[in-house]
Each structure stands twice: as C-alpha cells, then as structure tokens.
Amino acid sequence: DAEITQSPRHKITETGRQVTLACHQTWNHNNMFWYRQDLGHGLRLIHYSYGVQDTNKGEVSDGYSVSRSNTEDLPLTLESAASSQTSVYFCASSEWRGVGYEQYFGPGTRLTVT
C-alpha cells in the first residue's frame, strides 16, 4: 500500500548539531509539506514543495531548510539545532481528490534538543 513514512520516529540531539529528518511517500504526490506541532500552537508550517527543485518557506522557516531532488522525498534539515526546535514534526503530502486537495500526514518525528 502507498504510504508516507518519517524517520527517525524519535531523536535526541545536542544544541548546535545538524539534524536531518526524513520524509518519504510512495503515492507519487507532487505536493509535500513540513509542519511542527507544539502545545498551545497547533500545527505550524515550516516549508513546502510543489515538485522537484521547488521549495517554499512557511510561517516558521528560520533555522530549517529543505531540498527536493525527487518526487518521493522531502528531507528537513535543522542547520544548528536549538532548544526551541524541540517539537513533534509532521510531514504531509497532498493529492487532488476531484473537488480539492486533501493532505495526508506521516506518523511524526519527536525531536528533543538538549
């Protein structure tokens, strides 16, 4: 079955380290998104992509980067991890459903920056 996966599911890292979170989908969706979830904030958009070589900044993009070299993957990199980036990260992809796009979410990655 087609799916969207994230790895690792849990990560502990130290302040200042570079960290990459993987997102892989097998639906061949062009549109992919990264969100972070924090208590009291809901989900906030970090970066998104509409296709290979396309990336766009979201509401909370500072300190994060993405690259899109193929349709299936959108890795999220924290250039120099900070304690404020401790969060749960969700990747999503979307497809056209006839009357609109619907997003499907991965299982999430819980990142702790110490």
Site for other proteins, rule CB under 8 A? 31, 33, 35, 40-45, 48, 50, 58, 90, 94, 96-97, 99-108
Other beta carbons less than 10 A from residue 14's beta carbon: 9
Question: Looking at residue 83, what DSSP letter applies?
Answer: G
Nearer to other proteins, 29 or 81 (CB): 29
Paired with 71 in beta bridges are none
CB 35, min distance to other proteins, A: 8
Task: Please state, in angstroms and rounded to a whole number, the distance separating the CA atoms of residues 25 and 72.
Answer: 5
Rounded Cα distance between 33 and 74, Å, is 8
Nearest approach, Cβ of 16 to other proteins (angstroms)? 28
User: What is the smallest separation between the CB atom of 48 and other proteins, expressed in angstroms?
Assistant: 5
Q: Would you say 96 or 114 has its CB closer to other proteins?
A: 96
